[in-house]
Amino acid sequence: MSHEIMRLSAFAPAKVNLFLHVGGPDGEGYHPISSLMVFADVGDRVNLQPADAPAFETSGPFGDQIPAGGDNLVVRAGQAFHRRLGGPVPPYRLILEKHLPIAAGLGGGSSDAGAALKLLRDALAPALSDDDLEALAASLGADGAACLRARALIAEGRGERLSPAPRLPELNAVLVNPGAPSPTGAVYRAYDAGVHPDGAAMPPMPDHLESAEEAAAWLAFATRNDLEAPAVRLEPHIGEVLDVLRGEPESLLVRMSGSGATCFALCASDIEAEGLAERLETMRPDWWVRRCRLS
């Protein structure tokens, strides 16, 4: 093992749930789900640097909202990795550039943790298998393994059963966050008061979807986000975002991602997504708005 960590950097993409079906809690309080997850070309970045003593730092527009201690998933990822190695490691600094809003339904914490795990493997244990790394990611959260893979997939069970997604077209989208957090636990508890009768059942899945229009039509007809209604009840600003997006001509499908508060609009082309994003930024400068591609 080298006595000094190399300088490395990894992108941590935003996760978007194109649909999210949720069942009632099991005996341990976990909710079964089924979801089609895709990943955006916008997100955070994690940097690994040599240091005289172990350190974790944050930067970026949302960096000051990140807890510095063990509650942070990047720190917990490092701790889990050290336990897996079972021996001393050279000191290093992890720097999280936080560009995604906090408690936003974009899997930011899990994606950050996945990026940190990849960096630590590259620097300290390149022989560690993908399966071992995925087990570490899964131990950090229900969507940890999915965010480590960071490609379109189907998640079932508690989020740990992963399978390939159908072949998807290029999906251009606009992400919008109203600047209000949407705590996952509170949203799930609100959902428990009225669980959807179909629960976490998977919809019949097409083998492929040829266009953004076809994908949006299928998603609207066959799927939903069960957490959208309870999240809107808890945080009405989410409902405002959804209403605005649904009134825009570029929007093929409008939905909330995960447990919120970020919502998305699928658009037919990059040009339409760009136009929608620019208009929203002018209309609502208090909202976080990003044009992106999903894959």
Q: Which residues are catalytic?
A: 15, 143
Distant-in-sequence contacts of 64-69, Cβ < 8 A, 24+ apart = 65/98, 65/102, 66/96, 66/98, 66/102
Q: Which of 19, 15, 18, 22 minimizes the C-alpha distance to 137?
A: 15
Contacts of 116 (CB under 8 A, 6+ apart): 10, 46, 48, 74, 77, 78, 81, 94
| CA dist., res. 51 & res. 56, Å (int) | 10
| CA dist., res. 11 & res. 34, Å (int) | 26
Is residue 107 marked as binding?
yes
The DSSP symbol for 13 reads E
C-alpha to C-alpha distances, 38 to 110, 159, 220, 231, 273, nearest whole angstrom? 14, 14, 16, 21, 17
Is residue 108 marked as binding?
yes
Is residue 179 marked as binding?
no
Conformation bin of residue 14: beta by default, left when phi > 0, alpha when psi is -120 to 50 = beta
Is residue 265 marked as binding?
no
Could you tell me which residues are beta bridge partners of residue 194? none
Is residue 105 marked as binding?
yes
Is residue 129 marked as binding?
no
Binding-site residues for ATP: 101-111
Binding-site residues: 101-111
